[in-house]
Chain A
Amino acid sequence: MSAPLVHVRDLEVRFVTRDATVHAVNGVSFDLAERESLCILGESGSGKSVTLRALMGLNPPRRTKLSGTVRVGGHDILAASERRLADIRGGTVSMIFQEPMTALDPVFTIGRQIAETVMRHEGLSRASADARALELLELVQIPSAKRRLAAYPHELSGGLRQRAMIAIALSCRPKLLLADEPTTALDATVQIQILLLLRRLQQEMGMGVIFVTHDLGVAGEIADRVAVMYAGKFIEEGPVRSLMRAPLHPYAQGLLGATVHSGMRGERLTTIPGAPPNLERVPKGCAFAPRCALVEEACLPAVPTFRSPFPGHAARCVRVRDAA
């Protein structure tokens, strides 16, 4: 049996400042096989971006306290030195960010920003790195790629900037691509193009992909599996079809109920009342209980364990029947 590409067990991330400790991630466990794509769904502050960044040790080093196990491509991320991490980042695992305008250096050309990554990891000469940069811009389907090499980020449209960002992320053929809301900052029409591009590239290059988003449409488009995150925990995990059609956890049901999809003209959108808990204190029971319409006695004393009614689909809710 080969080891999975990503192996995460009991990951906890805390941000410590003088005033408070924020428990951003509270025990996340999952595996990702090679070529598999996982989508982490959740609202702002649920800890999804922090989880993603923990996979490549990108959270601010001085304030972040990590515990648990994170292995990516055989590397122990939590034990690795900053030097070692720098070799892994961009080579084995790389990341696409939400806002390509601020995630790219404004005073360096696109070509230079791609080439420096290639030079850093593969030790190519400047000339061959530039040639690779051109290939990459063509790979992500940027028109008149040659001219765009010399362009600065502000000279490109949002969609082209995000393509350039993808080109940087793919420049050293990573085994794992992390995408932090890669389409949130883009126009609706451009979002679809970027998603299709990412799906095609994932298949062609055989990468594992982990997506973070709050957009259910994105999740349905690209993911094999979906995990729903709330207050720093996975509360439901399952194959994309099964989870989208029949979510188990009341929070996941609420998330789907609050989304517009076709064939619901005239129906009211349901919303989830209340706000997510303050993560300065970790709730003892189910974190969603205060907002849950179906809350009962059993929800409060301890965090519910995963219950799985069908193989591969599980949720942390006492109301879910456990078949196993």
Chain B
Amino acid sequence: MLLYLIRRVLYAVPIALAVGLVCFMLVQIAPGDPINAIVPADAPQEVVEQVRRDYGLDKPLPVQFGLWLGRVVQGDLGRSLATGRPVTADLVPAVANTLTLALVAAGIGFVLGTLLGTVAAVFRGSLLDKAAVGLAAAGVSVPHYWLGMVMVVLFSVTLNWLPAMGAGPGGSGAWAWDWAHAQFLVLPAVTLSVIPMGIVTRTVRGVVMELLNQDFVTTLRGKGLRRGGIALHVVKNAAPSVLAVMGLQLGYLMGGSILVETVFSWPGTGFLLNSAIFQRDLPVLQGTILVLAIFFVALNLVVDLVQTALDPRIRRA
């Protein structure tokens, strides 16, 4: 098992490298010269060249990539073109905020989705099943930024129950686990949880339904096991596929909350990306995308390992 673990981790390295290359290239391919964002439009040519040299933008692309990669590995993601501050100084708290939001949203979505999906599968064809399927379809189809705005109108503006934007009192970005801060989390987390809830509901429903039709469930009934005993078998059989979907969804939540973070002014990576795009702040853009992509790779690795631990049929050779 240890050997397998080491090998799976090593497999992830080339993937991470490729991700880095894509991040680097994406920015190069984007139209527009980032220099224009730094120097005034009427600056003399020598100044432009000087700035270009300072940022290393005059070297051939492979060299730029090598230099960039060397710095990235040491935790240096460069300096923001807009503010001049190191990218990591803004990125680390943003990642922490996004992670908080994503984990809470995933928690809500996964728990509700699992419950709904299980109930739907056990009582297939019943009204409960139809309600769960309908809810899941709605969750997946409703645009979440729109839902976010509706929630703001309803719970912040009309009912005045919850704050509409920010991540803490006084607009501070510092997060703490108390109600003063947690109330800021409620609306964005619920908004974000709707899609994973829908997808997990459908997955769990499908997987559990298929399992309940398997011969071995008849064997378990034939052995005299009661509901609880059978449920244990179903859970262990369902876990690998359900966890794979959950891992993917958590990944999407990390990277895909740009719109929702913008709607709620949540100071996370989505918010950061959004402003970086508008300001053509390439180092910030690159750094953020890279960190999110690495997160995705790491999540997939974890899901793989958990699946292998749970399902003996996946070879560990």
Residues of A with Cβ closer than 8 Å to B?
A: 56, 58, 83, 86-91, 94-95, 97, 99, 102-108, 116-117, 120-121, 152, 154-155, 165, 168
> Min CB distance, B81 to chain A, in Å?
53
Question: A91 to B226, alpha carbons, bound, how many Å?
Answer: 13
Take A99-B215, A116-B229, A152-B312 as given contacts and tell me if A106 and B222 are in contact as well, using a CB distance cutoff of 8 Å. Answer: no
Best-surrounded residue of A56, A90, A99 (most CB of chain B within 10 A): A90
Question: A97 to B312, alpha carbons, bound, how many Å?
Answer: 23
Chain B contacts of A104 at CB under 8 A?
Answer: 216, 219
Residues of B with Cβ closer than 8 Å to A?
A: 214-216, 218-226, 229, 233, 236-237, 310-313
> Min CB distance, B213 to chain A, in Å?
9
> Min CB distance, B316 to chain A, in Å?
12
Take A105-B216, A107-B237, A152-B312 as given contacts and tell me if A56 and B229 are in contact as well, using a CB distance cutoff of 8 Å. Answer: no
Chain A contacts of B236 at CB under 8 A?
Answer: 107-108
**Do residues A97 and B221 form an inter-chain contact, with CB atoms below 8 A?**
no
**Do residues B313 and A152 form an inter-chain contact, with CB atoms below 8 A?**
yes
The chain A residue with its CB closest to the CB of B219 is: A103
> Min CB distance, B173 to chain A, in Å?
45
Chain B contacts of A95 at CB under 8 A?
Answer: 219, 222
**Do residues B229 and A120 form an inter-chain contact, with CB atoms below 8 A?**
yes
Question: A317 to B63, alpha carbons, bound, how many Å?
Answer: 93
**Do residues B237 and A116 form an inter-chain contact, with CB atoms below 8 A?**
no
Chain A contacts of B219 at CB under 8 A?
Answer: 95, 97, 103-105, 165, 168
Total A-B contacts with CB atoms under 8 angstroms apart: 77
Question: A155 to B220, alpha carbons, bound, how many Å?
Answer: 20
Question: A104 to B222, alpha carbons, bound, how many Å?
Answer: 12
**Do residues A107 and B310 form an inter-chain contact, with CB atoms below 8 A?**
yes
**Do residues B222 and A94 form an inter-chain contact, with CB atoms below 8 A?**
yes
**Do residues B222 and A90 form an inter-chain contact, with CB atoms below 8 A?**
yes
**Do residues A58 and B221 form an inter-chain contact, with CB atoms below 8 A?**
yes
Chain B contacts of A108 at CB under 8 A?
Answer: 233, 236
**Do residues B218 and A103 form an inter-chain contact, with CB atoms below 8 A?**
yes
**Do residues B218 and A105 form an inter-chain contact, with CB atoms below 8 A?**
no
Question: A102 to B216, alpha carbons, bound, how many Å?
Answer: 6
**Do residues A58 and B218 form an inter-chain contact, with CB atoms below 8 A?**
yes
**Contact residue among B216, B224, B237, B311 (Cβ-Cβ distance under 8 Å from A88):** B224
The chain B residue with its CB closest to the CB of A172 is: B224
The chain A residue with its CB closest to the CB of B225 is: A120
Overall SS of chain B's interface: helix
**Contact residue among A58, A116, A152 (Cβ-Cβ distance under 8 Å from B222):** A58
Which 10 A/B pairs are nearest by Cβ-Cβ distance? A90-B224, A89-B224, A102-B215, A90-B223, A152-B312, A117-B223, A105-B216, A103-B215, A103-B219, A95-B222
> Min CB distance, A18 to chain B, in Å?
10
**Do residues A107 and B312 form an inter-chain contact, with CB atoms below 8 A?**
yes
The chain A residue with its CB closest to the CB of B239 is: A107
**Do residues B237 and A121 form an inter-chain contact, with CB atoms below 8 A?**
no
**Do residues B225 and A86 form an inter-chain contact, with CB atoms below 8 A?**
yes
Question: A117 to B219, alpha carbons, bound, how many Å?
Answer: 11
The chain B residue with its CB closest to the CB of A101 is: B215
Question: A107 to B216, alpha carbons, bound, how many Å?
Answer: 11
Listed A/B pairs (16) with beta-carbon separation below 8 Å: A83-B226, A86-B226, A89-B221, A94-B223, A105-B233, A106-B311, A106-B312, A107-B311, A116-B225, A117-B223, A117-B224, A120-B224, A154-B313, A165-B219, A168-B219, A168-B223
Question: A108 to B219, alpha carbons, bound, how many Å?
Answer: 13
Chain A contacts of B225 at CB under 8 A?
Answer: 86, 90, 116-117, 120
Chain A contacts of B313 at CB under 8 A?
Answer: 106-107, 152, 154
Best-surrounded residue of B216, B218, B219, B312 (most CB of chain A within 10 A): B219
Question: A95 to B312, alpha carbons, bound, how many Å?
Answer: 26
**Do residues A106 and B216 form an inter-chain contact, with CB atoms below 8 A?**
yes
> Min CB distance, B150 to chain A, in Å?
39
**Do residues A91 and B224 form an inter-chain contact, with CB atoms below 8 A?**
yes
Chain B contacts of A99 at CB under 8 A?
Answer: 215
Chain B contacts of A117 at CB under 8 A?
Answer: 223-225
Question: A106 to B238, alpha carbons, bound, how many Å?
Answer: 12
Chain B contacts of A58 at CB under 8 A?
Answer: 218, 221-222
Chain A contacts of B237 at CB under 8 A?
Answer: 105-107
**Do residues B224 and A86 form an inter-chain contact, with CB atoms below 8 A?**
yes
Question: A165 to B215, alpha carbons, bound, how many Å?
Answer: 13
Question: A139 to B128, alpha carbons, bound, how many Å?
Answer: 47
Best-surrounded residue of A88, A102, A107, A121 (most CB of chain B within 10 A): A107
Question: A83 to B224, alpha carbons, bound, how many Å?
Answer: 9
Question: A87 to B237, alpha carbons, bound, how many Å?
Answer: 25
Chain B contacts of A107 at CB under 8 A?
Answer: 233, 236-237, 310-313
